[in-house]
Structure 1
Amino acid sequence: MRGSAKELSNTKIIEQWLYGRPRRTQDAYLRDVTQAMNFWDNPPLEAISLGCLQSYQTYLIEVLHLRAGSVKRKISSLRSLLKFAHEQEFIPRNPAIALRSPKVHENLHERILSPQQVRAIIAAAKPGRDRALLLLTYAIGARISEVCGILWKDFTPKPDGTAVVRLLGKRDKWRSVRVPAVVWSEIEALRGDASDEGRVFGLAPRQAHDVKKAAVLKSGAPAEASLHWLRHSAASHSLEAGAPIHVVRDSLGHASIQTTDKYLHSSPEESASDYLNL
């Protein structure tokens, strides 16, 4: 055995588990694991049992009332850590193998705004930075962390009035997305004398969510609508308008075409029954 969890502290084992992963992935995994360890009062990894995992999963569902998808993600982080610790022989058994995950109810269609709602939200934002932020987020279907991280040097203007922006997405992968002329003109107007290294919007994701919240409340759109709903809506609306699925996949930075394919089946407004002679 390479060393028990008692001989190696939880911190050292977690450091080895996270080593080599993208920084954002490390941060997300560490938050999930830290929350669970605090719930259990920080026991050594080898003391974590199936009962511990079940009680924590119940806590996430029944006390914190997290969505099934969020619960599944947090438990997935623990599964990954315990699998690693077992494979490296830091713990004698992996209790997560026997843990049943909650069934995820697919409700993507509930998080897709209509084109009219999107236009209302953007129109309700303050002219200038706030409006440009929401307009760009929707136009390129970006994650808010990607939008908040854009520097002026990440934009490349084109002769036709459009621009191309480089985005740093999940797993620290870069992708380039075309920005329509009507969107680029609003963004370009914000620059002033900002340097190439300056952040375009100068906002942290939490501040960007405040911008969204104010616009949503003023627009009359569903109060629970988040900035990520604009991303969902961009994917759905572009596919409905006939955009090739591989173009939408690449623009949104999906790792798999299966992820993008969900948006083709996210609208309950159309059904096979519409084509039946009833």
Structure 2
Amino acid sequence: MILVSGATGNVGHNVVTQLLEAGEKVRAIARNPERLSFPPEVEVLRADLTEPESLPAALAGVERAFLFPVPGATEGFLAQGKDLRQVVLLSSISVDDEEENSIGLMHLAHERALAASGLKWTFVRPGGFMTNDLAWVPGVKAGVVRAPFGAAAQASVDERDIAAVVAQALLDEAHAGQIYRLSGPESLTVAQRVRIIGDVLGQEVRFEEQDPAEARRQMVTYMPEPIVDTLLSTFEGLVGTTAPVLPDVERVTGRPPFTYASWVAHHAADFR
């Protein structure tokens, strides 16, 4: 039995689907399992990593687990899962940043907790998620996407590729002890991504540069200020650069990662 936490998320949902396609027995857990829609073969349970009393049932009979970490709850999960054969952790490429930042430090703490647990581990460190661009849906519908640092480049990665690497790591213990750094197949600026969205949807979508101070005022309404400041500082540092394209998606899965255009086509209904 494989446990998938955070199963309502973009990555977790795809991990469940891909493990099921591989013929594995899967248990999906979430705080709000009523939001889950899986085939009947998937065992769905309500569990919350911040509620230790919900974890024994979630972990019963489980051999391997995908951990979508929750701040302050990782150590408790690992203590209750001390008999697990392997844990695959969703981390972040920000752990590799030369300068310390709040996002990297948060994920590094989860990695260190898992490494210290004595369990076999695999760290999956994606860069920017393509799904972050779903925040542009209202702008796409209006025909104008406003964002700061339009010349900032990223090689953002499709959630299906992140899930594919996670699934492979869960299916083969040869991946234990490995750290996988994930990107998409191309370096694209914010403005280029907006143009691709319009091209794929067959509609006019214009990019408009947003003042970073205005963006910050909006972002702090739904994200902690240290995270917002780290993100904006990171984006500013990416202006005029070319993002590195990393090989681990293809190395692990045996196929190239999905392009940004293919991701947009996959989410066309969301944008429309």
Higher helix share: 1
> If you compute each CA radius of gyration, which structure gives the higher value, 1 or 2?
1
Quickly name the TM-score band, shorter chain normalised. under 0.3
TM-score, normalised on structure 2?
0.24
Higher strand share: 2
